[in-house]
Structures are given as C-alpha cells and as structure tokens.
Amino acid sequence: MTGLHLLYVGLIVFAVSGVSANNSPMPLTYDPAKDIILNSQSITEMSSTGVRVVKDGGASIGQAIEFFSGTGERAESHPQVYVDIRFSAPAGRYTVWLRGRSDMDDMTDSVWLQVDDRIGTGTGGLRMGNWLDIHPAGVYAWAGDSSSSMTIELKHAGDHVIRIQPRQTPHRIDQIWLSNSQLRIPNTQSSIR
C-alpha cells in the first residue's frame, strides 16, 4: 500500500512540475517569415477620443498607442474608444503577445482584442495585457493575459482586422505580435526588431 501512495505522490509532483514548465518563460523566438508584428504605424482607423499615438523613446519605433479613457467591462459592438489595424496573413492559429506599459497600478493595464468577424458583435473579445501582474510599472514588457498565452484563429488567408478597445486605462501598447511558435511568454522585455 505504501508503494501505491508513493507512486500517487510521484505522479502528482510530476504533473505539477510539467504544468509549471509550460507556463515558464521561453526565449523570444520571432520568425520573420511566419510571424506578424503590428504597431502604431499599422493603425488603419481609430476613434477620435480616448486614444492617441504618442512619441515615446522607450517604444520600439519611438511611438506607441496610448489609451487614456473609454474603459469597458466587455468588448462592445460599437465602442467609443478603439483602434483598428488591418493586415494580411495566412490562415491559421496565432498566439498573440502585446508589448505594453502602464505607469500606475494593476487596474490600468488591459484591453479587449477582437478579430475579423467578431468585430462589431460585442462577443469573442480576448482580455489581453495585465502587464502589471508580472512586470514592474513604467517599463515595456510582453504579456498575453498576464503570463498566459492567448490565441486567435484567422479563418482565411488574406486581409484581416484586429480591433483593440480599452478595458482599463491609462496604458500604452508598443507592439502586437502574432506568433506561430512563441507559445509561452518571452523571457525578455525587449521589443522585436
């Protein structure tokens, strides 16, 4: 009977250690042939209030998207504050990482992200960001939803749209990375390129 208990405890320890390894950071593995990087220069439409593009020396291209008002408890079908980014990509499943920054507290650091046919429906919004759950205030760093990865499915090849709406404010977003291989949070705060 003792052997059976030891086996059971061993299986639990093995399972728990496997889970923590799956959530641990991994080296940043950007593949320029398959991955997509979006930033403030990629914006195709944005609301006239609650968001702006600001100069920022800490951002990868010297500017970032700043949300400063218009928070919402869920993704809205007709938001007052939003950013739309059009891009072209092959069909497939992508892990989405945001590089963002908040200078305040953990109630100022998240967005809703929708893609393609979910835009305008008020459904299918991914809660993204929450940098301050895992990174210090005032620095750009990577997050999915905190350290958890979030994925989107692009159902067809060609043109797509991502819409971002603020869930909490104020914060800045430097880069949006759609990856085929970065399944866990990067082990660096550095930008891509």
pLDDT digits (tens, 9 = 90+) for 124-168: 899 999 999 999 999 999 999 999 999 999 999 999 999 999 999
Would you state the pLDDT for residue 106?
85
Residue 19 has a pLDDT of 40
Determine the Cα–Cα distance for residues 64 and 69; give it in Å rounded to an integer.
Answer: 16
Which residues of the chain carry a pLDDT beneath 70? 1-22
Distance between CA atoms of residues 131 and 95, nearest Å: 17
Q: Give the integer Cα–Cα distance in Å for 176 and 63.
A: 13
Alpha-carbon distance of 161 to 190, in angstroms, equals 25
- Asked if residue 172 lies in contact with residue 64, where contact means CB atoms within 8 angstroms, the answer is yes
Radius of gyration of the chain (CA): 18
CA 33 – CA 36 distance, rounded (Å)? 9
Taken as a whole, the chain contains a residue count of: 193
Element spanning 13, H or E: helix 2-23
What class, spelled out in words, does domain 31-179 have in CATH? mainly beta
Q: What pLDDT, on the 0 to 100 scale, is given for residue 105?
A: 85
Predicted pLDDT at 73:
93
